Homo-oligomer: A and B are copies of this chain.
Amino acid sequence: MQPFNSAFNVEEKISDESLQLRSVVTHGGQVVLSLVREPLAALKPEDVLIRVEAAPINPSDIGAMLGAADLSLAWTADGAAGPELVAPVPAASLPAMRSSRAASMPVGLEGAGTVVAAGSSQAAQSLMGKTVAAMAGGMYARYRCVAAAECLVLPEGTSAVEAASCFVNPLAALGMVETACREGHTAIVQTAAASNLGQILLRICLADGVPLVNVVRSQQQEELLRAQGARYVCNSSSGDFRDRLVDAIAATGATIVLDPIGGGSGGQILSCMEVAISRRPGQAASRYGSEVLKQLYVYGALDPRPIEIPRDIGAAWAAGGWLLLRYLKVTQPQILDRLKARVAAEVKTTFASHYARGISLKEVISPEVLKVCAHPATGMKFLIEPWKNC
């Protein structure tokens, strides 16, 4: 954790303005990313002011910042208040992009920092000086005003860097495992298992004793996951991939796939599940396939082609999109509170995230940095430290 800043003094003077990263769609059909100075408003009784010290760049943040803009044609312009990143939006994508977002919006879904000011309420006052995480949007900023109830308080001794990624990946991984178990599945297959989220999901399943089959695409990724204790790892680049996947599914009894890829990725695993189920003793096959429900949840679009469901899986199958924001809306508050409390308690272990680099707000406005973020190799996740180089 040495490459990252930390340790702010709560007593230090609060600035009267914040610096905020905003994404604007111009009349001319360009996306402009710029740093905007914003005066800090007076706090309402229930609000706290977080000095944001660490905020990760998730794939969904790249989407929010750039939309359909063409990063390969982006350049750095000399804006009125400093450098700006300008990227053209293809004409065909412009109407959809305009209708799906505000012209100008603050970005940064989640982050963590120190509560440096609090409204008059008891709830807000009790957070003064604490390290908290929030998924409030607009977190790529030096200060962010957030309702006290939205803050996740971390145990003492937790740094903002450690707390930066408390929501998106941990809650998605926990939410998907909770969904799988609630729907009656007793073992899981995940694709893109070596991703940051995939590794968190592995640690959850190891801790909870849920058998997990991990699909990766290289020997290196296989070794990475085995070193972390993964028992079932199937490498899609190996010649006997399909046979080994069927074996792993048969050994675990997995009946659900969690897939951030799309295309043909999840469907071929449903096929392997049907083969594995047909091996079960006493499983009466019929022309309509097995009676065991096979579920696919697609939670990303690494492959933008249509999702393919093969027809050799019988009639007992289901597929659907899985989206964290929707899960947070439809799930009972007490379940969410339990999941968040677990993230706070295990933030340094189960939910630890790793970053390739810490960067300043100004560094984000660089085509080179964003290109790396937009096409992340495994492990190349960046962390924004809004107070770096200020």
Contact = CB atoms under 8 A, between A and B. Distances in A.
Contacts of A309: 306-309, 319
B319 A288 contact: no
Contacts of A310: 306
A314 interface: yes
A341 interface: no
B323 A315 contact: yes
A113 interface: no
A333 interface: no
A101 B287 contact: yes
Contacts of A319: 309, 318-320
A288 B320 contact: no
Contacts of A311: 262, 301, 304-307
Nearest to A97: B287
A326 B315 CA distance: 9
A99 interface: yes
Nearest to A306: B308
A103 interface: no
Interface in A281-308: 285-288, 291, 299, 301, 304-308
Contacts of A318: 318-321
A90 interface: no
A265 interface: no
Interface string A337-361: 0000000000000000000000000
A100 interface: yes
A264 B309 CA distance: 10
A390 to B, nearest CB: 30
Contacts of A305: 311
A123 interface: no
A99 B267 contact: no
Contacts of A67: 287
Interface string A153-167: 000000000000000
A326 B321 contact: no
A262 B325 CA distance: 30
A63 interface: yes
Interface string A257-272: 0000010100100000
A236 interface: no
Most buried by B among A278, A288, A322, A325: A288
A301 B314 CA distance: 10
Contacts of A322: 315
Given A306-B310, A309-B319, A317-B320, 13 more contacts: A96-B285, A99-B285, A264-B306, A288-B325, A288-B326, A301-B311, A306-B311, A315-B321, A315-B322, A316-B326, A317-B321, A318-B319, A318-B320
A-B residue pairs, 10 tightest by C-beta: A315-B321, A318-B320, A315-B323, A307-B309, A306-B308, A100-B285, A319-B319, A306-B310, A317-B321, A99-B285
10 contacts: A63-B287, A100-B287, A264-B306, A267-B306, A291-B326, A305-B311, A306-B310, A309-B319, A316-B321, A319-B319
Interface of A: 60, 63-64, 67, 96, 99-101, 262, 264, 267, 278, 285-288, 291, 299, 301, 304-311, 314-323, 325-326
